[in-house]
Structure 1
Amino acid sequence: MDKTEYFSKLGGLPPQTQLLSGRAVFTTAYAVIPRGVMSDIVTSLLPHWTGTRAWVLSRPLSGFSETFSQYVMEVQPGGGSDRPEPDKRAEAVLFVVEGGMTVELEGVSHTLRAGSFVYIPAGSAWRLKNDGSAAVIFHWVRKAFQEVDGLEPPPAIVTHEDDHPIRAMPDTDGRWGTTRFIDPADVRYDMHVNIVTLEPGAVIPFMETHVMEHGLYVLEGKAVYRLNQDWVEVEAGDFMWLRAFCPQACYAGGPGRFRYLLYKDVNRHVKLW
């Protein structure tokens, strides 16, 4: 098995000699935020967090993607929060890409490292602390949980990628697979955050067109993505934001494997306005 890698090298500032052209794109169907624009000057500070900065990659926008927000969080040694989430409706997924930290969830402490995954149900009491000697970097996906009458709320999950095999897609000879941290048959959950892996030369061989919104953060490798009518080159550290029904496909040309962290909203009826 290939060595697991998670891209985490954000920040800095381009030199004055840098050309202004780049790969950032925002359209009515999708957005691409390449790693080169995630500089120091586009970070945000959050209330009740210390020693922390965030790159906000997505937020609900009327007429675009509307279900989720996604941050890359960088917490320095000693930093963290005793009041991380201001919205009681918000459920969350944390996925660590560098360093280590402790998350206390409903009074129980969990030690996390690169590759750790946490699902935090809406309304949970939790806190986070970097008690190590180096910065910790993790993704934080937030969504307003959609309750369903007669369906119990989903439980918390604390796990690690090492404990979840890559499950091959049918008829792909194992070249395209998904690491699923949440049971896809469990309808208590209204969102999934998975890792998709494509080996060199593998493809998503048709234009997926579906109601689920997506956030795709490239953890490793590079590929060419087809988004709506455009072919877009992406690499480790890039983020793609896809609204519902945006046609999408992918060709992973290599030389190494291509992996991304994937958000999607699932298991709920469409709201009628």
Structure 2
Amino acid sequence: MSAKVAFLGLGVMGFPMAGHLKAKGYDVTVYNRSPEKAKLWVDKHGGKSAPTPAAAAKDQDFVMMCVGNDNDLLAVALGPDGALAGMAKGTVLVDHTTASADAARKIYAAAKEKGIAFIDAPVSGGQAGAENGKLTVMCGGDAAPFERAKPVMDSYAKMTTLLGGSGAGQLTKMVNQICIAGLVQALSEGIAFAEKAGLDANLVLDVISKGAAQSWQMENRGKTMVERKFNFGFAVDWMRKDLGICLEEAKRNGAKLPITEIVDKYYGDVQKAGGTRFDTSSLITRL
């Protein structure tokens, strides 16, 4: 690959995603708020690191971001040393953070003023999906830059889809998180019911996972929930951040999210009980 790519943010998702880019032959420069993490990445994968987002973005064809929340994202993209400060006209900025649609539209507008394309592209699939290069990428933005950036994103994705204009990727990720919240609560109640009824919960899961109740959550988290193991990457703190974004957007667009509101409060109970870093399947601990 001749394209030059910067990757900004080397958390549990960004670190392996950037690694897939290097493995595919891209010329990769990384940035992370803590330089030690960037050094660790370079030691493992090669490539280069830079001290600021702007420095990492300089002379790159594509800049990918994966950070924590709206505030982090806006600072990394729009700050004095942010990505747009270092990018040239005609390049493409892609954001994999789960953030608000408002933040996406703000960056889109700022990038457009500079002649830079912006794609909001949150991902689903968790840490395992990032490590295995099997993420689902939900994109919002203009078609031409999406087509240019798609082969780059495909380095760590099993599906990369443009869903509409700026913000459409983030809105689709909200739908994803709304669906997951309800599924995990139902799975928690089902497992707890099976246990109270004296059934072999693992055997029950084996049977019902072959029928209409089957889901990714059941296949990947059901048995670990029975074992009360909750160390699979996507923490309750992050889920509450995401559900907060969903609930705020629902206030604006008039959508009714009664179950999501309840499950968000249930995750609050898990936080209060000390489960802030448990993964999202820890909802069962309430029962």
The alignment's TM-score, normalised by the length of structure 1, stands at: 0.27
Kindly indicate which of the two structures has a greater share of residues assigned to helix.
2
Kindly indicate which of the two structures has a greater share of residues assigned to strand.
1
Q: Which has the higher contact order (CA 8 A, sep 6+)?
A: 1
The alignment's TM-score, normalised by the length of structure 2, stands at: 0.26
Who wins on radius of gyration, i.e. which is larger?
2
